[in-house]
Structure 1
Amino acid sequence: MLKILFSPAESKKIGGEESKKELFGSSGAREGILNEYVNIVNSGNEDTIKELFGFKRLSDCKPYINNIFDAPLMHAIERYNGVAYEYLDFDSLEPEAKEYLKLNTIIFSNLYGPLLGGDAIANYKVKQGNNIGSFIPDKFYKDRFSYQLDLYLANCEILDLRAGHYDKFYEIKKPYTTLKFLKGGKSVSHWAKAYRGLVLRAVAQNNINSIKEFMALEIEGLSIAEIRVIKAKTEIIYNIME
């Protein structure tokens, strides 16, 4: 089976109607950091809240000032709506492709840590790279969840579509495949987000279950320029076609 590692997004959809359930790994392992987040958000300390969320105005913070333990829940794969998720366009997928993403995508949240796409989470805000009180999210989740992820991924192939920052949450200890996108011979950042979303969409639509199947997949707007193998990492370099 193929598992896809993916990044979250700063922006998120509001609302949700999912039922509360156990998150990937163990909800108990998250208790400390989630409680710290709730304490900050409901502290009334405007400067601390704005710093955590990465906003300059308190009015921008208001959609996120809630108790995440009682807030409406939405599947993680649906909650985020940044560039990659806009190009994934989850809502337009067929039911089988949606279920594929819920089961086979692992998203590395700045608050919740590693989540399956189908895990139900609240609307929240933590600016990438920020601490949550005394907690350093990437270090905290790397320490708490690496062993569980190693076990979970032991018999799976891995397609790593994370942005670089989220490598800090989990170091892959087995062979894996990652992608790089070039336009005009230069590596891109904004368009890399878009094409990660398009790649994830194509993988789900075609029910890709192995790296071999992925290598044979034609993705609109991309052509393979080179494949590099560096120790455990296979890097597929795509040209973005004009």
Structure 2
Amino acid sequence: MKLFFSPSKGMQYKTFKYSEESGIIDIPFKEKTDFLISVLKNFSQEEISTKLKIKGKILDDVLNIYSNFYNQEEREAISLYDGVSYKQLDLEKFSRESYKYMRDNVFIFSALYGVLNACTPIRPYRLDMTNKILEISPYDFWREDIEKYLLQFKDETFINIASNEFSKILNRKVFNVIDIEFRQCDGDKIKNISTEAKKARGALLNYLIENKIACVEEIKNFNNLGYTFSLELSSEKTIFFIKK
């Protein structure tokens, strides 16, 4: 069983106690990543602003990131990302066994890196799958390479905890993918609140790593943040959790 997660725009340098044990986990598509960085470095300020849809301080920060990209320190991907989902991860509380589980089973999609092992060292960046910086879309740029890379796990079940922006790159005709969905009750209505879903995805990933969950049925026992498994909404390929 392999777990797939989204990256985040927010990033912050952090360390956790077993990081020194990770060894070197290579970036899987270094040449393609380096190519994208070279493209981004050659853009003007106006082009970066337009293509990445940013301005002000964020624009200044991103220009600095790509101007000095290879001078930045590296951190394991799962500790560098710092968005809403990632704030639900208790990295410092993970046991050595949980760390090994994460290293072996958790993967993160990325518009700059393609797909990463959670423990692969990366540098800060800013790029989304919706940012078209080439003639082709990021999906077309990465789809074939990601599929070939993931074929090594073809016989395993893929648990998709990522947002649709990233997870739609998974070829469901090739891989056995089970999607995880979170919904919130508002009176008699069931809603999909983005920020709440992001928190829930992070809390679920934390639960899976902490408990080293190895089968699909055990995922349904997740009940953090007020969520419970919904048999009514779930299907063979989708597991729903509802917060009442």
- 1:47 maps to 2:46: yes
User: How far apart, CA to CA, are the structure 1 residues paired with 2:176 and 2:71?
Assistant: 40
Identify which of 193, 210, 214 aligns with 2:215: 210
Displacement after TM superposition at 1:39 (Å): 3.1
- 1:239 paired residue number: 242
User: How far apart, CA to CA, are the structure 2 residues paired with 1:65 and 1:29?
Assistant: 15
- 1:27 paired residue number: 30
- 1:132 paired residue number: 133
Could you tell me whether the CA contact under 8 Å between 1:38 and 1:67 is conserved in 2? no
Displacement after TM superposition at 1:63 (Å): 5.0
User: How far apart, CA to CA, are the structure 1 residues paired with 2:79 and 2:222?
Assistant: 24
TM-score w.r.t. the length of structure 1 is 0.83
Instruction: Classify 1:140/1:153 alpha carbon distance in 2 versus 1 (closer, same or farther; 3 Å).
Output: same
Once the two structures are superposed, what CA deviation does each residue of 1:180-205 show, in whole Å capped at 9, x if it has no partner?
22211222221110000000000001
Q: How does 1:1-242 map to 2 (within 5 A)?
A: 2-14=1-13, 22-24=26-28, 26-40=29-43, 45-57=44-56, 58-61=59-62, 64-134=65-135, 136-149=137-150, 151-172=151-172, 173-184=174-185, 185-219=190-224, 221-226=226-231, 227-229=233-235, 234-241=237-244
How many residue pairs were aligned?
231
Could you tell me whether the CA contact under 8 Å between 1:12 and 1:80 is conserved in 2? yes
Once the two structures are superposed, what CA deviation does each residue of 1:71-107 show, in whole Å capped at 9, x if it has no partner?
2111111111111001124344334323322331111
User: How far apart, CA to CA, are the structure 2 residues paired with 1:152 and 1:94?
Assistant: 27
Pairwise CA RMSD: 2.6
Secondary structure in 1 matching 2:183: strand
**Amino-acid identity (%):** 22
Amino acid at match of 1:39: N
Amino acid at match of 2:154: A
Instruction: Classify 1:119/1:101 alpha carbon distance in 2 versus 1 (closer, same or farther; 3 Å).
Output: same
Instruction: Classify 1:21/1:87 alpha carbon distance in 2 versus 1 (closer, same or farther; 3 Å).
Output: closer
Amino acid at match of 2:214: N
Could you tell me whether the CA contact under 8 Å between 1:23 and 1:119 is conserved in 2? yes
Unaligned runs of 5+ in 2: none
Could you tell me whether the CA contact under 8 Å between 2:11 and 2:124 is conserved in 1? yes
Once the two structures are superposed, what CA deviation does each residue of 1:24-56 show, in whole Å capped at 9, x if it has no partner?
3x423444323323333xxxx221232344321
Could you tell me whether the CA contact under 8 Å between 2:221 and 2:229 is conserved in 1? no
Secondary structure in 2 matching 1:197: helix
User: How far apart, CA to CA, are the structure 2 residues paired with 1:64 and 1:119?
Assistant: 19
